[in-house]
Structure 1
Amino acid sequence: MSAPLLEIDNLTVSFGQGEEAVTAVRGVSLALSAGETLALVGESGSGKSVTALSIPQLLPYPLARHPTGTIRFEGESLLNAPPARLRALRGRGFGMVFQEPMTSLNPLHTIEKQIGETLRIHQGLTATQARARMIELLELVRLPEARARLGAFPHQLSGGQRQRVMIAMAIANHPRLLIADEPTTALDVTIQAEILDLLADLKQRLGMAMLFISHDLNVVRRIADRVAVMQAGEVVEAGTKTRVFSAPVHAYTQMLLAAEPEGRPVPVSDGPPLLETRGLQVWFPRRGGLLKRVTSHLKAVDGVDMRVRPGETLGVVGESGSGKTTLGMAVLRLQSARGEIVFNGQDIARLGKRALRPLRRELQVVFQDPFGSLSPRLSVGQIIGEGLSVHRIGRDEVERAALAREALAEVGLDPVLAERFPHELSGGQRQRVAVARAIVLKPRLVVLDEPTSALDRSVQMQLVELLRTLQARHGLSYLFISHDLAVVRAMSHRMLVMQAGQVVEAGSAEQVFTAPQEAYTQRLLAAALETG
């Protein structure tokens, strides 16, 4: 048999020195053959990405060290390779696709400049040759209107389109190994399915091997040939995909496979709605011509009617750009809108800032990215207590600090974390802090905007249980926005399916999941089942 394309033997990765040193990877050994896909799976902090980034030597050296181990690519040792050789290998030996293309792509440069850079450095192509190659690459990754997209900036593309650009950059120089680090985590199920199909197709057409890092076993099940499961920096189980999924040996693997959101929300009684919208519209003007006059409108939300009863969860699903988040922000009066927004019997759509302010404590929000939505300059206690100060809840700072600690305990966190800062917490802990910040004000309605999408499956399951417990305890109503249909089903009483700013289907969650009426809903559900 031929030697593996990639061999990792007894690899250890440490950060820092002396007593402050942290060992992130412990004695990992892996092998990957040409044309094969090996998936590294495990929860956040298990060492997957650190292992992968050790291959192209992209860790923060010298803070990062390799006390033990070897990494060989086509028989060549990488750990002691000179910088010039590593630079050459990073283009033509292996390509990288990262989790969040918006942060991986330079926001100040066009797509043409960013793909062109790698072609000029590694292949020495002229501007004309590079442009032709770029169009070919973008067509290969199935980016619509490839030629016209060259002049676009990253923010002008959707999440799925940005990920296609990242893949085009990664394969531009015909690498023998593609390292894909959580490439589909932030994408809708339909886009996720398209990207997985694209990666599998490119691997076959270009003859690449692929190291695929993910915490989502449903994705791994679809794309991998072999699987290595990591926990606390170690590989605890490895084998063929069929064997690992059908007969997992290690308890940790069994836990990961069982970590799916389960159960259904407690039924609620019928009654007058707490929130109702009628003919809600959010249109953004498009300007053109020399005078930049309004030529048309982007109809982000276009005539949406919906109702949420006390204690009820209304799930809102749809692809990126369907208007889900804009709808949530309009309900909270954080986005200008037309139409009626009736909260607790009062139309709040036309209230001024002063009249709206007392209602703010009753209308709260939990965002998708807890790291971006929590101030890095404030401690956890200050973050939770900020709303208490604004709404003058509590007699003094001492009482407000006590209320903040009570909120932490209620969301399952140790109150001593009040002294910590967001960067000192895990993703799941940060999201619990975001929930605590919302519920400490005793709201009646909470808008949950993709609150679980950045979390591991096991942490998602814990957060779903927490949200259902809080709902039952406090009679909360939720507007639950998500592209994760498994989580939506576990959380929602009723559902709205949105497409291009409009509601294309509405009904009870069970009705929509078991007997979808619209072709778009059927396509969404089919993509979710196909990925799973």
Structure 2
Amino acid sequence: MSEPLLSIRDLEVAFDGENGPTRVVEGVSLSLNAGETLALVGESGSGKSVTALSIPRLLPYPQATHPGGSIRLEGEELIHAPVARLRSLRGGTLGMIFQEPMTSLNPLHTLEKQIGETLRIHQGLSPATARERIVELLEMVRLPEAADRLGAYPHQLSGGQRQRVMIAMAIANSPRLLIADEPTTALDVTIQAEILELLADLRRRLGMAMLFISHDLNVVQRIADRVAVMQSGRIVEQGRVEAVFARPTHGYTRMLLDAEPDGRPAPVADGPPLLEVRDLRVAFPRRRGPFGRVRSHLMAVDGVGLGVRPGETLGVVGESGSGKTTLGMALLRLQPAKGRITFDGQDLSRLDKRRLRPLRRSMQVVFQDPFGSLSPRMSVGQIIAEGLAVHERALDANGREARAREALVEVGLAPELLRRFPHELSGGQRQRVAVARAIVLKPRLIVLDEPTSALDRSVQSQLVDLLRTLQARHGLSYIFISHDLKVVRAMSHRVVVMQAGRICETGSAERIFTDPVEPYTRRLLAASLHA
């Protein structure tokens, strides 16, 4: 029997800390054959990404060390390989796709420059030859109008398009091994399905092996041949995907498989809406002529009308670019818009910043990425209490800290975390801090913009339960924006479906999910069922 393409034996990883080294990966052994896909799954903090980043030696050395173990790629030991040799492997024999392309791509460089750099380093291609290869790669990953995109910058692309560019960079030099670290986590279900199909197609065409890291077992089931389950730095179960999914032997694997948001929100009483929107429009400049004059606009939100009652959750779904987040920001007057927005009987469109400010405490927001929305220089206590310093000036520092502690406990976190900083918390803990920051002001409406998309399924279920509990306790109204239709169904009383800035279908959550009318809605649901 031939030697595996990748062989990991008894790998150990430790990080230096105040009290000495802490082992985060212990005794991990994996193998991956040419042309095969192995999925590495587990919750946040289980050691998945640390294990994967150990292969190309991309951990923060010397803070990270390998007390023991072996990593062999095509028979070559990598644990103690020279830096020069590792650089030749990275982007060459070994490609990598990271979770968030917006932070992985250089915002100051065009697509041509970023993809061309890896071709120049590893193949020494001339600019003209490199350009031809770049177009070929972008067409291979099915980027629309590839030849016209060479001068584009990352911010000019959608999330799905940026991920395609990341894949093009990773496969530019025909790697033997591709490491894909949560490559579909932040994508909507239809784009996610396209990326998974693309990766499977590229694997077949290029004969690559793929190490696929994910917390989403539905995705793993679609793409992987074998799966290894990690818990607390150890492999607790591994085998063929169909066998592990059908007959899991470890309790932790069974927990992961069963961790789906379920249940339905409590019924809400009829009554006048807390928030009512009529003919809302948001336009972004698309083309400019001489002297900076705008020649055309992109209608990101086009004539939207909706209402939300006290204690109700309105789910907002649609593909990337459909206008979901722009709608949410416009409702809070965080994005300029035209149209009428009435909150608690007051027309927000008629209020200037000074008169709008007192209403801000009643309208809060929780963003998709808590690590990006929480200041890294502020403690948890300072983050939660920041709004109190603005809206409740009568409170002194002790009073603000006491309220922050109450909010922290209410979202299920220990009071001791008040002194911690965001980088010391897990993803689920950071999102709970974001929720605490919102509820400490005792709002009436919270816009939740993709609050669960980057979380493990088990943590998603916990956050959904928390949000439902807080809603029942405080009578909160939610606008729940998400591409994850399973979470939307568990959270929402009513749903609006957005397409190209317009609402194409609206109704009760039960009716939308069981008897959709519009073909676009049916396509979204079909993609979700197969995700």
| TM-score scaled by length of structure 2 | 0.98
Q: Distance in 2 between matches of 1:331 and 1:427?
A: 27
Matched, 1:142 2:142: yes
Q: Which amino acid aligns with 2:295?
A: T
Contact 2:276 2:342 in 1 (8 A): yes
Aligned to 1:340: 340
Contact 2:389 2:395 in 1 (8 A): no
Aligned to 2:267: 267
Contact 1:385 1:437 in 2 (8 A): yes
Q: Report the 3-state secondary structure (helix = DSSP H, G, I; strand = E; otherwise coil) of the residue aligned with 1:404.
A: helix
Contact 1:393 1:400 in 2 (8 A): no
* 1:424–1:18 CA distance, 2 compared to 1 (3 A): closer
1:455-503 CA-partner distances (Å, limit 9, x unpaired): 1111110000000000000000000111111110000000000011100
Q: Distance in 1 between matches of 2:484 and 2:38?
A: 25
* 1:284–1:17 CA distance, 2 compared to 1 (3 A): closer
Q: Distance in 2 between matches of 1:236 and 1:24?
A: 15
Matched, 1:293 2:276: no
Equivalent residues in 2 for 1:253-264, closer than 5 Å: 253-264=253-264
Q: Which amino acid aligns with 1:317?
A: V
Give 1:149 deviation, angstroms: 0.7
Give 1:381 deviation, angstroms: 1.3
Matched, 1:490 2:490: yes
Give 1:394 deviation, angstroms: 5.2
Matched, 1:507 2:503: no
Q: Distance in 1 between matches of 2:395 and 2:152?
A: 53
Matched, 1:304 2:309: no
1:184-219 CA-partner distances (Å, limit 9, x unpaired): 001111000000000000000111110000011111
Contact 1:72 1:78 in 2 (8 A): yes
Q: Report the 3-state secondary structure (helix = DSSP H, G, I; strand = E; otherwise coil) of the residue aligned with 1:311.
A: coil
Give 1:147 deviation, angstroms: 0.4
Q: Distance in 1 between matches of 2:509 and 2:69?
A: 51
Give 1:422 deviation, angstroms: 1.4
Aligned to 1:529: 529
Q: Distance in 2 between matches of 1:291 and 1:404?
A: 50
Q: Which amino acid aligns with 2:243?
A: R
Q: Which amino acid aligns with 2:188?
A: D
Q: Report the 3-state secondary structure (helix = DSSP H, G, I; strand = E; otherwise coil) of the residue aligned with 1:99.
A: coil
The more displaced of 196-205 and 379-388 is: 379-388
Q: Distance in 2 between matches of 1:17 and 1:514?
A: 52
Q: Distance in 2 between matches of 1:431 and 1:258?
A: 22
Q: Report the 3-state secondary structure (helix = DSSP H, G, I; strand = E; otherwise coil) of the residue aligned with 2:11.
A: strand
Contact 1:388 1:394 in 2 (8 A): no
Contact 1:47 1:230 in 2 (8 A): yes
Aligned to 2:95: 95
Q: Which amino acid aligns with 2:322?
A: S
Q: Distance in 2 between matches of 1:19 and 1:489?
A: 45
Q: Distance in 1 between matches of 2:73 and 2:389?
A: 57
| Alignment length (residue pairs) | 531
1:312-350 CA-partner distances (Å, limit 9, x unpaired): 000000111111111111111111111110111221111
Give 1:18 deviation, angstroms: 8.6
Q: Which amino acid aligns with 2:480?
A: F
Q: Distance in 1 between matches of 2:405 and 2:19?
A: 31
Contact 2:281 2:339 in 1 (8 A): yes
Give 1:68 deviation, angstroms: 0.8
Aligned to 2:158: 158
Q: Distance in 1 between matches of 2:424 and 2:403?
A: 22
Q: Distance in 1 between matches of 2:514 and 2:196?
A: 26
Q: Distance in 2 between matches of 1:428 and 1:244?
A: 26
Q: Distance in 1 between matches of 2:82 and 2:203?
A: 29
Contact 1:288 1:295 in 2 (8 A): yes
Q: Distance in 2 between matches of 1:31 and 1:438?
A: 45
Structure 1: segments with no counterpart, 5+ residues: none
Q: Report the 3-state secondary structure (helix = DSSP H, G, I; strand = E; otherwise coil) of the residue aligned with 1:265.
A: coil
- Percent identical among aligned pairs is 76
Q: Which amino acid aligns with 2:439?
A: I
Q: Distance in 2 between matches of 1:59 and 1:146?
A: 33
The more displaced of 50-59 and 252-261 is: 50-59
Give 1:393 deviation, angstroms: 5.8
Contact 2:314 2:479 in 1 (8 A): yes
1:74-127 CA-partner distances (Å, limit 9, x unpaired): 111111222222222223211000000111111111000011111111111111
* 1:506–1:74 CA distance, 2 compared to 1 (3 A): same
Q: Which amino acid aligns with 1:413?
A: L
Give 1:57 deviation, angstroms: 1.2
Contact 2:312 2:477 in 1 (8 A): yes
Q: Which amino acid aligns with 2:229?
A: V
Aligned to 2:27: 27
Aligned to 1:459: 459
Give 1:289 deviation, angstroms: 2.4
1:243-265 CA-partner distances (Å, limit 9, x unpaired): 11001011110110010000000
* 1:394–1:463 CA distance, 2 compared to 1 (3 A): farther
Runs of at least 4 residues of structure 1 off by over 4 A? none
Equivalent residues in 2 for 1:334-483, closer than 5 Å: 334-392=334-392, 395-483=395-483
Matched, 1:84 2:58: no
Give 1:399 deviation, angstroms: 1.8
Q: Distance in 2 between matches of 1:505 and 1:122?
A: 50
Q: Distance in 2 between matches of 1:53 and 1:383?
A: 31
Q: Distance in 2 between matches of 1:247 and 1:73?
A: 31
Contact 1:181 1:213 in 2 (8 A): yes
Q: Distance in 1 between matches of 2:81 and 2:34?
A: 22
Equivalent residues in 2 for 1:104-253, closer than 5 Å: 104-253=104-253
Contact 2:94 2:175 in 1 (8 A): yes
Q: Distance in 1 between matches of 2:266 and 2:274?
A: 17
Contact 2:248 2:254 in 1 (8 A): yes
Q: Report the 3-state secondary structure (helix = DSSP H, G, I; strand = E; otherwise coil) of the residue aligned with 1:528.
A: helix
